Amino acid sequence: MKSLSAVALVASALVASSASAGIVVYTNQSLWNARVATDGLVVETETFNAIADGYRPAPFTGSTASVNWSAFADGGLYVQDGVFSTEFPDPLTFNFTPGVRAVGGNFFGVDAEFANAAVFFSVLLSDGTSYEGETSSPASFTGFRSTTAATIASLTINVENAVGAAAVYPSVDNLYFGVPAPGAVALLGVAGLVGSRRRR
């Protein structure tokens, strides 16, 4: 295993709104799950386990029941044992369609041999707020939740390698999305239909 010096992992959640969204950050997945449920949302999970190991050109797309996601990195992507990484130490961006009210994941770094790399990371949001933490394991969780009507449209993980240090690659083991419950979506559709009939 190559020796690693301190590196920075930067994740940036871009908000699909011209106004800044209020974002709350969680490091406890159970608490994030509870708050998502309080908001009337359900959690959908992307494990990446259905993706065969190996190199993937970018963009690469996938979906859960109600969220379509695409991943992009300049040098391409690499999957191994359900861990989604970049082929080179380039920024890794996930875009979500439609945008989500909450997103979380197991964000960390790996070296060239796919060994876990301890990293310091900062989360930078489009409204200028930031979050700093440390992780050394795919079990480490970081989650984000919008406290306004604005949705989170993308998440970018960027590795800044220290001079002379072994390369570290941004990696994600799972992504979790907070989305409206199926019944809530159906009610919104019915409300829209009733509204359109009244306007006729």
pLDDT in tens, 102-146: 999 998 888 888 888 766 665 544 455 556 667 778 888 989 898
pLDDT in tens, 38-76: 999 999 999 999 999 999 999 999 999 999 999 999 999
- The pTM of the full predicted model, rounded to 2 decimals, is 0.80
pLDDT band at 25 (very low <50, low <70, confident <90, very high): confident
Distance CA 8, CA 89 (A): 12
Distance CA 40, CA 179 (A): 9
- Nearest Cα residue to 69 out of 40, 88, 42, 92: 92
Distance CA 47, CA 55 (A): 17
Say which residues have a Cβ less than 8 Å from residue 160's Cβ, sequence separation at least 6: 7, 8, 9, 10
SS3 140: coil
Report the pLDDT value the prediction gives residue 67, as an integer from 0 to 100. Answer: 96
Helix/strand/coil percent split, the chain, to 5: 15, 50, 35
Tokens of 86: 């970049």
Say which residues have a Cβ less than 8 Å from residue 167's Cβ, sequence separation at least 6: 88, 89, 111, 112, 161
End-to-end CA distance of the chain: 69
